[in-house]
Amino acid sequence: MTESEALARLTPRERRCLELVALHYDTGQIAVELGISVATVNGYLADARQKLGARNRKEAARMLGATPVSPAETVVSAAPIDDRGMFERVEPTPAPGPPSATQTGNRSGGTLSRLLYLERTTEPHRIGMGGRTLMIVGLVVALCAALAMAVVAAVGLVSIFASLRP
C-alpha cells in the first residue's frame, strides 16, 4: 500500500489529531481542543500511526504534512471538524466498585504528584489556583521544617564537640 493510500484511510479525527501534533500540541491540549478525552486522543493517534506504518506520532504527522493537499481539502481542513455522532469513539464503561487509579486520574502517584507537577506534560489544566496555592504553602512549610532540622543538628553537633574538649 502506498503512502497516499494509507493517508486516504485516515478518519477526519485521526487527521485532525495529526495536524495538531504537527502544530506541537501535546495530548492534553489536543483533547481540550477537540472536546474529547486524553485516552480517545491516544487511540486516534495510535490508529493513525498503525494505518500509516509510522514509528511515532511525530513521524505520522510529518507524513501527513508532506503530502500535497488539494485546494478542496484545504478549505475543509481549515474549518473546525465536528464529526461527533455515530462514529465517535466510545470510552469503556468503568466496572462497578471502588474506582481504580486510572479511573480517578491518578495514574502516577496521585494528588501529590499532580501538585508537584509530575504530570504537567499530560494534564497541565488539572491544577487550579487552589492547588497551586496549596503547593506553595506546602513548599514553604517544608522549607521551614528543613531549616529547623538543620539548626537543631548544628546545635547538637556543637554540644557534642564542646563535651569532647578536655
Q: How far is CA 146 from CA 30, 117, 149, 159, in A?
A: 40, 21, 5, 20
pLDDT of residue 80: 47
Kindly report, residue by residue over 15-51, the tens digit of the pLDDT: 999 999 999 999 999 999 999 999 999 999 999 999 8
C-beta neighbour count of 123 within 10 angstroms: 17
pLDDT at 92: 52
**Is the predicted pLDDT of residue 94 greater than 80, yes or no?**
no
pLDDT at 9: 87
Tens-digit pLDDT profile for residues 98-147: 554 444 444 445 565 555 555 455 455 566 777 788 888 999 999 999 99
Q: Higher-confidence residue: 21 or 75?
A: 21
Confidence band, pLDDT 50/70/90 cuts, at residue 70: very low
75 band by pLDDT with thresholds 50, 70 and 90: very low
Cell for 36? 474529547
Q: Are the CB atoms for 61 and 71 separated by under 8 Å?
A: no
pLDDT at 125 (0 to 100): 57
Under CATH, which architecture does the 3-78 domain have?
A: Orthogonal Bundle (1.10)
pLDDT at 3: 75
Per-residue pLDDT, 165: 81
**Residue found under cell 472536546:** 35
* Res 154 pLDDT > 90: yes
Q: Which pLDDT does position 130 carry in this prediction?
A: 79
* Residue 73, CA atoms < 13 Å, CB-side half-sphere: 11
Q: Per-domain residue ranges for the chain?
A: 3-78, 130-164
- CA dist 151 and 63 (Å) reads 60
- Provide the sign of the torsion angle of the four alpha carbons 128, 129, 130, 132, taken in this order: positive
Q: How far is CA 100 from CA 39, 92, 113, 116, in A?
A: 15, 14, 17, 21
